[in-house]
């Protein structure tokens, strides 16, 4: 399909006003990034007015195309289009840019501003998240409408990316994966303005980017700028149309631009990237655009009305056609409609907990193994449960048996299935985190991605954004401590648990045994926030009752064993809960009564009401010991001034896990001695 671009005086005037608004917004607040918003104004305008399908009255409409501003520092590029399309932002919102309480913060925030699909700003994250959106859309198509030639679940994902986005390693990881996945619904437009904060990008960025994307397997197009320095919108539309005709490869469009065009002295300069232009330069820019230099935050009402009228005229038939297609699908897919309604309501099957595996006390099972068994038990009831691993599936136990490899039908890999349930992320932890986020943002899927806990460092940026957006991303992190053994200190996490717990709005879940692991998956699925599930490599004894775990785990911490009025409390997580039980039994022989508290998720425990927290950890009991095979730094909040913490604040070593736990002091005797010391002080 080729579109003939009709670009008239209304379009020219609209883009001129958008450029002036970008300059005005930054000038008013005194800080921001005007240059890119000015030069990209015609690109974003073209996408919103000529290309994308969306409903201005319903920013979350199921049939919409997705727009991702990966260059999140140029947030005005998006805000201006949301204003122009009448999607909830007003001129007053633009005037409040980057100020307290505004709907136009410095970088786009998903859930804060209607029409923002994902939080962007950390460079590369938007592009990588968009890859997840495209992957998720294909999987959603598979569970809802796999065989129709055209489907109401088909849509496209458009990304505006900067030089900085393409310099960040995460974008390379994600782009490589997108090429392997053949994501024909994804189009990335690269703003090639060759300017960064430090000047010409050639100081650090000299490779042939277009050749790199061809090597990734993308469909590639190049759009040169007009002699004036402005964007060639006709050539850009031709490139976008050509990209739409390639169903089996993502498309990459290089667009040559001049930053801050047409500012008389600031265009093409590094200063215009991240600083207000200054009143004189803003006035001169308006004059160059044919606007009144004395007007601020102006937009001709007739031009605005005409643009919105044209947009409605273009979009309404597309919306109506989608509704007809959706109605036809609903009529012929009753089971699919029931599933969609359940997914949209974030409900779970009523019998979900009855499917959870239960483990008999006395058996020894690695929690990573129990997690894999739980995922497979739940997968039969939850088609939305979908994920994989960063080339560690056998170690992370993340594969859904018989689920097929999520790969395009053109893949030579045996078992390739464009709607498969097993994602092969490759050794790309950071991209994996962002892809999981992108797939989760629709709200229909429950995606997960796995790696070793120590490599959560490689994906921390994506994890932090998951917490900021509160999307339902699940990160499965195995090999949770020195207990992984002989791989040694490079693979043994020490500081990671508390480092991750420090992220606001993120839950770290470290179950004690197989039953708590099963219960943890239930708790994760019953709530919607992002979670890191932290699991052992080594076998651990099954010490909990499955029903008790199912009740206790969602509350974050619970009394596993001990009297109503204990002398002391041992708090432990993960594999160390069994150690706490053994120490309590030894102390009982000396007449010291000890309560053992399993605390799989401190964040969930902190969210409980004070009465429950005091019931589990009575304030009157000052003798407390926390036991965890990781850094000690955050435990003092729970043990108090008379308490003790058994942990490890140095790197590990290469040896079997039994030796390591003994040599580094994770023994029954040491825990019992710590209880006695705490009692003496309390």
Asked about 9 being catalytic, the answer comes back as no
Please check whether residue 340 lies inside any domain of the structure.
no
Tens-digit pLDDT profile for residues 71-104: 999 999 999 999 999 999 999 999 999 999 999 9
Q: Measure the CA angle with vertex 649, ends 644 and 655; round to 5°.
A: 115
Q: Which domain holds residue 389?
A: 352-548
Please check whether residue 509 lies inside any domain of the structure.
yes
Tens-digit pLDDT profile for residues 387-435: 999 999 999 999 999 999 999 999 999 989 999 999 999 999 999 999 9
Burial profile 134-147: b = 16 or more Cβ within 10 angstroms, e = fewer:
bbbbbbbbbbbbee
Please check whether residue 339 lies inside any domain of the structure.
no
> Rounded CA gap, 283 and 291, in Å?
9
Please check whether residue 335 lies inside any domain of the structure.
no
Residues 591, 459 share a domain = no
Model's pTM, two decimal places? 0.98
Q: What is the pLDDT of residue 2?
A: 56
Please check whether residue 439 lies inside any domain of the structure.
yes
Tens-digit pLDDT profile for residues 448-470: 999 999 999 999 999 999 999 99
Q: What is the pLDDT of residue 682?
A: 72
Please check whether residue 341 lies inside any domain of the structure.
no
Residues 563, 544 share a domain = no
Pick from 491, 520, 548: which residue ends a domain?
A: 548
> Rounded CA gap, 464 and 606, in Å?
19
Are the C-beta atoms of 572 and 596 separated by less than 8 Å? Answer: yes
Pick from 514, 548, 582: which residue ends a domain?
A: 548
Q: What is the CATH number of the domain that holds 477?
A: 3.40.50.970
Q: What is the pLDDT of residue 3?
A: 66
Residues 378, 486 share a domain = yes
Pick from 532, 548, 564: which residue ends a domain?
A: 548
Residues 613, 518 share a domain = no
Q: What's the helix, strand, coil split of the chain in %, to 5?
A: 45, 15, 40
Residues 36, 72 share a domain = yes
> If you average pLDDT over residues 656-681, what whole number do you get?
98
Tokens describing residue 214: 């061809």
Tens-digit pLDDT profile for residues 37-64: 999 999 999 999 999 999 999 999 999 9
Please tell me the total count of domains within the chain. Answer: 3
Residues 593, 524 share a domain = no
Residues 558, 544 share a domain = no
Residues 624, 582 share a domain = yes
The distance between the two most distant Cα atoms of the chain, rounded to a whole number of Å, is: 90
Counting residues of the chain whose pLDDT is more than 90, the rounded percentage is: 98
Q: What is the pLDDT of residue 5?
A: 85
Residues 277, 128 share a domain = yes
Burial class (CB in 10 A: 0-12, 13-18, 19+), 619: exposed
Q: What is the pLDDT of residue 451?
A: 98
Q: What is the CATH number of the domain that holds 670?
A: 3.40.50.920
> If you average pLDDT over residues 110-114, what whole number do you get?
98
Residues 556, 454 share a domain = no
Are the C-beta atoms of 249 and 219 separated by less than 8 Å? Answer: yes
Residues 642, 535 share a domain = no
Q: Which of 522, 492, 454 lies closest to 653, judged by CA?
A: 492
Are the C-beta atoms of 107 and 75 separated by less than 8 Å? Answer: yes
Tens-digit pLDDT profile for residues 585-630: 999 999 999 999 999 999 999 999 999 999 999 999 999 999 999 9
Over the chain, what is the mean pLDDT?
97
Consecutive H or E run containing 389 = strand 385-389
Please check whether residue 409 lies inside any domain of the structure.
yes
Residues 507, 542 share a domain = yes
Q: Measuring CA to CA, how many Å separate 140 from each of 154, 155, 174, 182, 445?
A: 9, 11, 20, 16, 8
Q: Which of 429, 516, 576, 628 is catalytic?
A: 429
Partners of 417 in beta bridges: 406
Q: What is the pLDDT of residue 634?
A: 97
Burial class (CB in 10 A: 0-12, 13-18, 19+), 221: buried
The SS3 of residue 570 is strand
Please check whether residue 595 lies inside any domain of the structure.
yes
């Amino acid at each position: 399909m080729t579109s003939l671009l009709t670009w008239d005086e209304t379009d020219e005037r609209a883009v001129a006003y958008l450029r002036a608004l970008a300059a005005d917004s930054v000038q008013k607040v005194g800080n921001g990034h005007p240059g890119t918003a000015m030069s990209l104004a015609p690109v974003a305008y073209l996408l919103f007015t000529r290309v994308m399908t969306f409903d201005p009255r319903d920013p979350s409409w199921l049939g919409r195309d997705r727009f991702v501003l990966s260059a999140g520092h140029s947030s005005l590029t998006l805000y201006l289009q949301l204003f122009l399309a009448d999607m909830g932002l007003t001129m007053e919102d633009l005037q409040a840019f980057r100020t307290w309480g505004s709907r136009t913060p410095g970088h786009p925030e998903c859930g804060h501003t209607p029409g923002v699909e994902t939080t962007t700003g950390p460079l590369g994250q938007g592009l990588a998240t968009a890859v997840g959106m495209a992957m998720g859309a294909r999987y959603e198509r598979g569970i809802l409408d796999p065989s129709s030639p055209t489907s109401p679940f088909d849509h496209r994902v458009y990304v505006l990316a900067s030089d900085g986005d393409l310099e960040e390693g995460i974008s390379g990881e994600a782009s490589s994966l997108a090429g392997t996945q053949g994501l024909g619904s994804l189009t990335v437009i690269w703003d090639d303005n060759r300017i960064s904060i430090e000047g010409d990008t050639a100081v650090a960025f000299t490779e042939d980017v277009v050749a790199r994307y061809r090597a990734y397997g993308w469909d590639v197009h190049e759009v040169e700028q007009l002699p004036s320095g402005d964007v060639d919108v006709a050539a850009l539309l031709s490139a976008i149309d050509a990209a739409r005709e390639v169903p089996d490869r993502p498309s990459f469009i290089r667009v040559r631009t001049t930053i801050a065009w047409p500012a008389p002295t600031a265009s093409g300069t590094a200063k215009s990237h991240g600083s207000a232009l200054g009143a004189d330069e803003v006035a001169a820019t308006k004059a160059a655009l044919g606007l009144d230099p004395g007007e601020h935050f102006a937009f001709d009402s007739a031009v605005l009305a005409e643009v919105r009228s044209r947009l409605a005229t273009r979009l309404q038939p597309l919306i109506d056609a989608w509704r007809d297609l959706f109605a036809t699908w609903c009529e012929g897919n009753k089971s699919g409609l029931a599933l969609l309604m359940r997914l949209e309501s974030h409900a779970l099957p009523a019998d979900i907990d009855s499917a959870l595996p239960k483990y008999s006390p006395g058996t020894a099972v690695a929690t990573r193994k129990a997690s894999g068994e739980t995922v497979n038990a739940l997968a039969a009831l939850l088609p939305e449960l979908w994920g994989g691993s960063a080339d560690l599936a056998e170690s992370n136990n993340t594969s859904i048996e018989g689920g097929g490899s999520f790969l395009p039908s053109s893949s030579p890999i045996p078992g390739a299935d464009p709607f498969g349930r097993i994602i092969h992320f490759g050794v790309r932890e950071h991209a994996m985190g962002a892809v999981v986020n992108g797939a989760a943002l629709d709200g229909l899927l429950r995606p997960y991605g796995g790696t070793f806990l120590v490599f959560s460092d490689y994906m921390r940026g994506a994890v932090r954004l998951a917490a900021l957006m509160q999307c339902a991303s699940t990160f499965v992190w195995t090999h949770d401590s020195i207990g992984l053994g002989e791989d040694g200190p490079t693979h043994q996490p020490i500081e990671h648990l508390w480092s991750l717990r420090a992220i606001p709005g993120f839950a770290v879940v470290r179950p004690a045994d197989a039953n708590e692991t099963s219960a943890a998956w239930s708790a994760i699925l019953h709530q919607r926030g992002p979670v890191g599930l932290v699991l052992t490599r080594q076998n651990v004894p099954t010490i909990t009752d499955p029903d008790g775990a199912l009740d206790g785990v969602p509350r974050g911490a619970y009394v596993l064993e001990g009297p109503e009025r204990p002398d002391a409390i041992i708090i432990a997580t993960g594999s160390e809960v069994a150690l706490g039980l053994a120490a309590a039994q030894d102390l009982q022989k000396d007449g010291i009564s000890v309560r053992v508290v399993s605390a799989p998720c401190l964040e969930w425990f902190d969210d409980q009401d004070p009465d429950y927290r005091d019931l589990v950890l009575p304030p009157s009991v000052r003798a407390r010991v926390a036991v965890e095979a990781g850094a000690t730094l955050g435990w003092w909040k729970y043990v108090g001034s008379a308490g003790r913490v058994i942990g490890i604040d140095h790197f590990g070593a290469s040896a079997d896990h039994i030796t390591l736990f003994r040599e580094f002091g994770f023994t029954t005797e040491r825990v019992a001695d710590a209880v006695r010391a705490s009692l003496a002080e309390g």
